[in-house]
């Protein structure tokens, strides 16, 4: 499984995505996840939780520890540091990821490509209707600027497309 479904975390997914999935576990569920996937027994988990609460770090530090244990378990020692850096950069600080996929797409006969068609062609949405909803909800950015016009047509050039918080593409038309 490449991604998370419901409360599942895909063990074959990218380390950055895995880290993000762990960070989205609710505070109420994370203690159980730590015990099952973090490889710790319950007494160790309770002791760690007590240390985090006493230090004032709370659930965020606990989730970071859980994410580190899970990412290292499935991607090898040291993988958690890279995944945590990606999560902090992209999700918490809202910066660009280090690696962004590059795509080259043809223009239509009119010399333009519609934004919704672009989003669909990159598999950032399963249909143009879904792409339209993403635009309407403010979930699409082009070259760092929010896009609110689903009828936008793009001419030849290079663009940085962001859909949602975690999907990025450099596109040449």
pLDDT in tens, 81-135: 888 877 777 777 777 887 889 999 999 889 999 999 999 999 999 999 999 999 9
User: Over 90: is that where the pLDDT of 162 sits?
Assistant: yes
- pLDDT bracket for residue 39 (50, 70, 90): low
Q: Which of 32-41, 56-65, 110-119 is modeled with the greatest confidence? A: 110-119
Q: What angle do CA 61, 90, 123 make, to 5 degrees?
A: 125
Please state which of the ranges 41-45, 108-112, 162-166 shows the lowest mean pLDDT: 41-45
Q: Are 71 and 83 in contact (CB under 8 A)?
A: yes
Query: In this structure, what DSSP letter does residue 113 have?
Result: E
Q: Distance (Å, rounded) from C-alpha 133 to C-alpha 118?
A: 14
Comparing 65 with 163, the larger pLDDT belongs to: 163
Q: What angle do CA 60, 75, 28 make, to 5 degrees?
A: 30
- pLDDT bracket for residue 11 (50, 70, 90): confident
Token code pair at residue 60: 């965020």
Mean pLDDT of the chain: 81
Q: What is the pTM of this model?
A: 0.62
Q: Distance (Å, rounded) from C-alpha 82 to C-alpha 86?
A: 6
Q: Distance (Å, rounded) from C-alpha 28 to C-alpha 154?
A: 45
**Residue 12: helix, strand or coil by DSSP?**
coil
pLDDT of residue 160: 96
Q: Distance (Å, rounded) from C-alpha 121 to C-alpha 152?
A: 15
Q: Distance (Å, rounded) from C-alpha 54 to C-alpha 14?
A: 33
Please state which of the ranges 46-60, 71-85, 135-149 shows the lowest mean pLDDT: 46-60
């Amino acid at each position: 499984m490449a991604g998370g479904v419901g409360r599942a975390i895909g063990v074959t997914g990218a380390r950055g995505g895995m880290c993000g999935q762990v960070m989205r576990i609710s505070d109420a569920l994370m203690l159980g996840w730590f015990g099952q996937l973090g490889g710790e027994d319950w007494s160790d988990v309770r002791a760690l939780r007590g240390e985090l609460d006493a230090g004032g770090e709370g659930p965020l530090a606990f989730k970071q520890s859980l994410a580190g244990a899970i990412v290292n378990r499935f991607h090898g020692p040291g993988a958690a540091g890279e995944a945590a850096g990606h999560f902090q950069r992209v999700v918490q600080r809202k910066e660009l990821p280090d690696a962004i996929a590059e795509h080259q797409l043809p223009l239509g006969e009119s010399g333009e490509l519609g934004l919704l068609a672009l989003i669909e062609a990159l598999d950032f949405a399963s249909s143009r209707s879904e792409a339209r909803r993403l635009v309407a909800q403010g979930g699409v950015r082009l070259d760092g600027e929010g896009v609110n016009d689903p009828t936008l047509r793009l001419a030849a050039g290079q663009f940085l497309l962001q859909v949602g918080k975690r999907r990025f593409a450099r596109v040449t038309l």
